[in-house]
Amino acid sequence: MWQRKELKRRGKRQFLRNWAATVAVCFILAFTGAEFAGSADFIGQFDPSAMLPDDQVAIQAVSLSNWELLLEWLRIDPMDGTHPMWAAADQSLAPAFDTLTAPFSAFFALLERSRFAGWLDIALAALGIAGGLWFTIWVLSAVSVGARRFLLESRVRDNISIAAMFTPFQHGCWRNVAKGMFLRSLFLLLWACTIVGFPVKLYSYRMVPYILAENPQARPAETLRLSRQMMRGNKWRCFVLDLTFYLHWTFLPLLASTVLGTAIGLATGDVALCQSLAAAAAGLLSLLFVNGYRSATDAGLYAALRQAQLDAGTPLSALFVVPAFGETAPAGEKPRLPDADVRLPEDPVFHYAQRHKLDYNRHYGLRTLILLFFTFAFIGWVWEVALHIVTKGMFVNRGTMLGPWLPIYGAGGALVLLLLKKLFTRPVATFLVSMVLCSVIEYFSSWYLEVTKGIRWWDYSGYFMNLNGRICLEGAVIFGLGCCAVVYFAGPLLGGLLDRLSPARQNTLCAVLLTLFVADLAYSHVHPNAGEGITDYNDWQQDAARDALLPEAANDSVTAILSE
């Protein structure tokens, strides 16, 4: 029988032994919204009042939940007495809906600000929700399982790479992992209808991601049954384990930082700033320590419950296929010391390090770099255009140029591949240096454009840790993650595809693209791309700030006050 204190002690030792990689894995989960909801929220903090003129009044509104946004889109008021079914659902399904849709809450927030109306609005909402569901089920769920794979491997060997968290994306495993996680979410959604059953089943299916991490080819239904067996008689003890983490490492630090921040704010006269910094301090504690510590402890819990199933000789214990993931050594004679360096045997299912065929240390020739520059520039243009369609309900040609490319994205991706090759074996260093490099490029691009054209094409005023509105922490983190994707995935993959083209075709493509780019650059230097949705930041961001700060019920009256 596992003991809570011993489990946490071993978990802390495991976490500290692989601190940097574990923090990186948990950060990816938090920033993408896959897990650890709220831990990385401080990175994207936005103060709408910073976008309003000083003489205008800001009134704080209560943010809407995903469920409330859904009802607002459908124009349904569950309390008006005409929708009894929705009124009942509002009481029973709302908490579960918000929990299960948390990974793509950002999309709900974007649709809230959309200008679309009528059938187009419904079609966009349906398409967006379908896309969000697909991303959550097929990508984020697989990333969550991959994080468990990393944690299990980090228990038995040191210096593990974060590449282990991408094991589910191997051919033949990704779909099965996604099906297993989807079935788990579906069962939780159905149990949420009973209200009381949801938290119980949340613990019953707690081990499903770990089972899939060890055996990604296991049948989804069998993983659910095995998880229920493993958690039988352990649900309450797991709840107490979670409670100790919450009280000691979430509630008390947040309370202390909030009280201290408020006290300092009252003394300095800037309460909002101090509370924001207090929230950032609590978030940093979670990102740098709590999330990794808790995850490593969970991995130890899985190992203990796994060993109990093997000792009991249950039929479903055949799903355990990697002996080293257990509490004992592979030979089974005695418990393995917590810090022993036991190397994994050949994995019967797969091992990412042996099947990963993308060579991120490959050489990129001049022609390849030029073509990758235009590829990344086009992807950046598509990203910003799509984002503006969703947020503003209108198509605009983003950027300073007329063509479908944003050079800042292309330059960032190409320079990372060209300049940071010595760091590629250290993903954390690659991420941090990429953040700095892209931030420098973005800052001086903004400064140059404003000095030479007198116009700003982007403005981060109001965002957490922004520098003169030219760069901000959230943008730097997104660029850093994007550069890591370029280095370890997109660059080698696209480079391999481009290498299949003959040198003559590569030369032709480079010549055509460079000619068009230079012509566009010359024209845009005299006639820069500007207008609605491109350079009118002061106008539409102030409108967005007012929308974020004004309660809907008081819109008419307060708008009149603001306009005075």
pLDDT per 10-residue tile (average), the chain, 564 residues: 88 88 89 79 64 43 65 70 68 66 59 53 60 77 90 79 77 82 89 84 93 89 94 93 90 83 78 74 87 93 91 88 65 38 43 57 92 94 77 73 91 92 88 93 91 84 84 90 89 90 93 95 86 60 48 40 40
Contact assessment for residue 60 and residue 52, using Cβ atoms and an 8 Å cutoff: no
Q: Report the distance separating Cα 59 and Cα 183, nearest Å.
A: 43
Residue 313 has a CB neighbour count (10 Å cut-off) of 7
Q: What is the per-residue pLDDT for 299?
A: 92
Contacts of 81 by beta carbon, 8 Å cutoff, 6+ apart: 87
53 φ, ψ (degrees, to nearest 5)? -60, 155
Can you give the length of the chain in residues? 564
460 φ, ψ (degrees, to nearest 5)? -100, 20
What separation, in Å, do the N-terminal and C-terminal C-alpha atoms of the chain show? 70
Contact assessment for residue 111 and residue 125, using Cβ atoms and an 8 Å cutoff: yes
Contacts of 411 by beta carbon, 8 Å cutoff, 6+ apart: 373, 441
Spans of all domains in the chain: 4-47+69-355, 366-549
Contact assessment for residue 175 and residue 142, using Cβ atoms and an 8 Å cutoff: no
Ramachandran sector of residue 370 (left: φ over 0; alpha: ψ -120 to 50; beta: rest): alpha
Distances (CA, A) of 471 to 338, 359, 444: 44, 32, 10
Q: Which residues pair with 240 in a beta bridge?
A: none
Q: What is the per-residue pLDDT for 212?
A: 92
Q: Quote the tokens at residue 459.
A: 């403005």
| Residue tagged 């999330």 (tokens) | 291
Contact assessment for residue 551 and residue 429, using Cβ atoms and an 8 Å cutoff: no
Cβ burial, residue 62 (10 Å; 0-12/13-18/19+):
exposed
Q: What is the per-residue pLDDT for 109?
A: 58
Contact assessment for residue 482 and residue 430, using Cβ atoms and an 8 Å cutoff: no
Contacts of 101 by beta carbon, 8 Å cutoff, 6+ apart: 66, 108, 132
Helix, strand, coil % (nearest 5) of the chain?
70, 0, 30
Q: Report the distance separating Cα 227 and Cα 222, nearest Å.
A: 8
Q: Quote the tokens at residue 62.
A: 């209560």
Q: What is the 3-state secondary structure (H, E, C) of 519-557?
A: HHHHHHHHCCCCCCCCCCHHHHHHHHHHHHHCCHHHHHH
Q: Quote the tokens at residue 516.
A: 């068009």
Q: What is the per-residue pLDDT for 129?
A: 62
Residue 144 has a CB neighbour count (10 Å cut-off) of 22
Q: What is the per-residue pLDDT for 555?
A: 43
Q: What is the per-residue pLDDT for 203?
A: 92
